[in-house]
Structure 1
Amino acid sequence: MDQTALELARYLIDRLERTPSDTRILVGLGGVPGSGKSTLATLIVTHANKLLHLTSEQSKAYGATAVTVTIDGWLLTLAQLDSLPDPQHARKNRGSHWTFDALGYASFVATLRHSLSHSKDPSSNEFSQVPVLTAPVCYHTIPDPIKDGLTVQPTDRIVILEGLYPFFTLEPWIQAGEVLDERWLIDVDPDEATRRIIQRNFENGITNLEEATRRAEQLTRATGRFLLDNLLQPTRRIQSINFSS
């Protein structure tokens, strides 16, 4: 998968060279649970930042950086789930599209899309008062997302939005998906995806092995099927390569 990530990083930098300096490249990286989205996004950003560091001052990509934003940061907190009509059902199905602050996510993507161009001083090539954006982050070992746990700098002109729903067709998710420059879908064998989910949940102590297997085979497969039936057309499909973790 590392070679694939390197090729994708080179592609994004080449595209950045042809992109106005007041514009970000927004990449939605989606796929079913266990498809390797986080792993691939991390590799792409690592390669991209190494390559961007080597660009010359004459390059339109000079000074730019890349960052990953994980959509899981917009998961509803446990307290928010408990305020829903059926808290037990909400907790059991956490990760379904309706258990996210989708409006908040769509608003964040809209800000990403416009924050550079709306802050540029038309009398110069510099940006004036370009905001540093913040995003929530989510860790599998912590129950709730951490508000403002990630910063997106003005130099972050390649932003990979990674998760289940970056180009989901249901409202309000579609509002974010329609403004993306790239929509990349990872294809993965369902059995391999299930194996990864079982391993991840078990190793992170989220569930015991029996419960991890049940959840992976029932909830994640159903989520994956529903997800693939409700996507905007991907601009690129990527074959997931098996990895051990």
Structure 2
Amino acid sequence: MLEKYKYTEKVSKTVLRSRRKSGELPPLPKLADLNPSLQPDLSVVFIGYNPSIRSSSAQHHYAHPTNLFWKLFNESQILRVATDGKYAHPCSAQDDWGLVKYGIGFTDLVLRPTQNASQLTKQEIKENVPRLCAELKEYRPMVACFVGKGIWEHVLKNIGQVQALKEFRWGRQEIQLEGCDVFVIPSTSGLVSLSYQEKLKWWLQLRDYLSGVRSARLQERDCSNVMVNRQFSSAGEDVPKMKEIAASDIERLVDLLDELYEKKSAGERVIVAVCGSPGSGKTSVTNIIIDRFNSRHGRPIGLVVPQDGFHYSMKELMGMDDPQLMVARRGAEFTFDAQKLVELVRRIKAHPSEMIYAPSFDHKLKDPVNDAIKISPEKKVILVEGNYVCLEKEPWNVISKLVDTRWMVAANLDQIRERIIKRHLEAGISSTREEAEARTDHNDMVNGEYIRNNSCDVDLIIRND
């Protein structure tokens, strides 16, 4: 694993020579504070240092033309994520107050405008930290996004979390603030000498993280609705319900495979896509199902083909535009060769009489191994198993059209998290529980939210709690 970038925000300063006599200060106009734009249950609140003079004059957040905030906001499609795809129109500073109805709010560490943040006093910064914390406590946004490392550092110092300063990394922070998840991105000021692409990288990670958080909240709401529906159903209401089978009921699951197998014409294959979040146990479940299926038929006519073999190799990742990001997020859907997997599934379906080879993944080498899995003509039932095999996103969505049925393995989120932490520790990926928890929360759980939010409708839920 490569060491992550630890950027520092270097501010370039232009020295202006003044004709004013020494000690003579220009008269300062009365500048209006820029008030927060907040309401309860927002998806994200962006927290700046303090308003610029331009923002104060315009009474809009991030109004200076050299500030990259709105360009990054639009390119990362934060509005689309916050509205679950309902809205995706470009926004500018003039739209800031209207975005609150879409779940996007704004506030600052200090509300007093200045030409630059260095003109703020230590005392007023200290006095404003409790005000900011009170806002977050009252409105409870899902994510508090600090637009600049320095802002978060001031908060940490004033709430007594000095240790967190030493362990700082961009992105999702280990600690919450007043019950809100904290995400830190580089300042969008035009004075900060960080490239646009480097800034955009963290905005894209914010987008993905926000998508995952919203998905989890929606899932909690859906679970509540399911409980209500079950109450109605027990009272005599006819409520449609997704078919569910416990993972422990192997015989019923094998019966389903048998039904599909018996309906096929001679020479045709049954292909099942089995998806699920990391830690759901889909690999174990699919292998148990196939072992029992083969045992029932007295010969090995079933086979599991894992998606894991379609990881991009470390060499391939290192040759990509942002190798640090690709390595850090290895396991996310964009770190797999989806097109190659689609081509394999298409070939399995179209050429049942051919010997076909598929790659596997060597967990010791941490790389795929080509042609390690033999798919012989005698293999009549194929379970294509992996996190993303039921995604709606292209080209993954082609798999759903090629297979006979789609299954999802699901489990309680707390149980999933503990399984992944244990896996990282046992595999030596993480040396301490703290490291394992950080890796799990920043990568695996985010990927899981993405899967639950972006997979197509499945035909069966396998409960593996």
TM-score, normalised to structure 1, is 0.86
Q: Is 1:12 paired with 2:257? A: yes
Alignment correspondent of 1:42: 287
SS at the partner of 2:380?
strand
The answer as to whether partners of 1:33 and 1:220 remain within 8 angstroms in 2 is: yes
What is the match of residue 355 of structure 2?
132
Aligned to 2:365: 142
1:24 is matched with: 269
Instruction: Figure out how many residues of one structure are paired with residues of the other and give that number.
Output: 219
Q: Pick from 330, 334, 339: which aligns with 1:103? A: 339
Other-structure match for 2:394: 171
Structure 1 residue 99 displacement after superposition: 0.6
Q: 1:3 to 1:240 in 2, by over 3 A?
A: closer
Q: Residues 59-82 of structure 1: CA distance to partner in whole angstroms, max 9, x if unpaired?
A: xxxx77000000010000000000
1:185 alignment partner, SS class: strand
In the alignment, structure 1 residue 205 sits paired with structure 2 residue 428: yes
Following the alignment from structure 1 to structure 2, what is the Cα–Cα distance between the partners of residues 218 and 92?
10
Give the secondary structure class of the aligned counterpart of 1:47.
Answer: helix
- 1:215 match: 439
Unaligned runs of 5+ in 1: 54-62, 117-129
Q: How many angstroms does 1:147 deviate by? A: 0.5
Structure 1 residue corresponding to 2:408, chosen from 147, 163, 185: 185
Tell me, in whole angstroms, the C-alpha distance in 2 between the residues paired with 1:134 and 1:6: 29
Give the SS at the match of 2:402.
coil
Question: C-alpha separation between the residues in 2 aligned to 1:197 and 1:2?
Answer: 19
Contact 2:408 2:460 in 1 (8 A): yes
What's the CA shift for 1:15? Answer: 2.0
Deviations, residues 100-120 of structure 1 (Å, cap 9, x unaligned): 11110000000011112xxxx
1:235 paired to 2:459: yes
Where 1:138 maps in the other structure, the secondary structure is strand
Deviations 1:156-181 (Å, cap 9, x if unpaired)? Answer: 11100111011111111111121111
Matched residue type, 1:26: I
Helix, strand or coil at the partner of 2:454: coil
Q: Which amino acid aligns with 2:376?
A: Q
Aligned partner (choices 281, 286, 302) of residue 66 of structure 1:
302
Mapping for residues 107-126 of structure 1, pairs under 5 Å: 107-116=343-352
State the shift of 1:2 in Å: 6.4
SS in 1 for 2:267: coil
Assess if the C-alpha contact under 8 Å between 2:273 and 2:407 holds in 1.
yes
Superposed displacement of residue 196, structure 1: 0.6
- List per-residue Cα deviations over 1:74-103 (Å, max 9, x = no partner): 000000000111111100001111111111
Letter in 2 for 1:234: V
Deviation at 1:14, TM superposition (A): 2.5
Q: Secondary structure at the match of 2:362?
A: coil
- Aligned equivalents of 2:359, 2:399: Cα separation in 1: 16
8 Å CA contact 1:141–1:206 kept in 2: the answer is no
Task: Say whether the 8 Å CA contact 2:360–2:371 is kept in structure 1.
Answer: yes
SS at the partner of 1:220? helix
Given residue 443 of structure 2, which amino acid in structure 1 is its aligned partner?
L
What is the percent sequence identity of the aligned residues? 26
List structure 1 segments (4+ residues) > 4 angstroms apart after TM superposition. none
Does structure 2 retain, via aligned residues, the 8 Å contact 1:64–1:157? Answer: no
The one-letter amino acid paired with 1:224 is G
**Which amino acid is the alignment partner of residue 346 of structure 2?**
A
Match of 2:311 among 67, 75, 85: 75
